[in-house]
Chains A and B, each alone.
Chain A
Amino acid sequence: AQSVTQLDSQVPVFEEAPVELRCNYSSSVSVYLFWYVQYPNQGLQLLLKYLSGSTLVKGINGFEAEFNKSQTSFHLRKPSVHISDTAEYFCAVEIQGAQKLVFGQGTRLTINP
């Protein structure tokens, strides 16, 4: 079975500082990888996804993530955060072809002025 571990439940950072949200996954087969963002009282919105090709993936709002197969990681980064980035971030995996997303527990990103 697949599983996703988001190593930090909460990450506080100051505005304009860089941030990294960590995600590790476990799977015996090839997977697709996703990061979703959930703003308060809203549904999930796709930030970026890795399907194949370049291991560095760029998404919306200045976020990027790097797929590391040997470390089974897919960490999310942003060089300079803004107050509007305050939200919960979810890492998810999908077995290639299976259509089922398995989510991590989420990381709450709090931006302090």
Chain B
Amino acid sequence: DAGVIQSPRHEVTEMGQEVTLRCKPISGHNSLFWYRQTMMRGLELLIYFNNNVPIDDSGMPEDRFSAKMPNASFSTLKIQPSEPRDSAVYFCASSLPRRLATDTQYFGPGTRLTVL
């Protein structure tokens, strides 16, 4: 299996621009998670989906952030407009349904975002 795939791996953009991060979960996984990692705040859960439906978006910082999962094999995290404080590493993770008693989240390699 290819694991969780994220693109791009690195993104440098200017303040005010729109940024779109992409994630392809592991095939057969129906839960998908977006995390953000910064030095100041560590690893934070932004939002997660079950069966393509957003379950908890309480970690999304503000309205500038939005996430979608149009189908089981693709998700996006969009920031519009971007700000320098959004600079971080964004991770996507996926897992099997909880009813299968598998509680492991598999993480992608991350997207390092720099907003100038």
Contact = CB atoms under 8 A, between A and B. Distances in A.
Interface of A: 32, 36, 41-46, 49, 51, 90, 94, 97, 99-106
B56 to A, nearest CB: 7
A100 B93 CA distance: 12
Contacts of A36: 107
Contacts of B70: none
B72 interface: no
Interface of B: 4, 31, 33, 42-45, 48, 50, 55-56, 91, 93, 95, 98, 103-110
A103 B105 CA distance: 13
Contacts, number: 46
A49 B104 contact: yes
Contacts of A101: 33, 45, 105
Contacts of A46: 104-106
Nearest to A106: B42
Q: Which 3 A-B pairs have the closest CB atoms?
A: A43-B107, A103-B43, A44-B107
A50 B30 CA distance: 22
B90 to A, nearest CB: 11
A30 to B, nearest CB: 13
Nearest to B55: A99
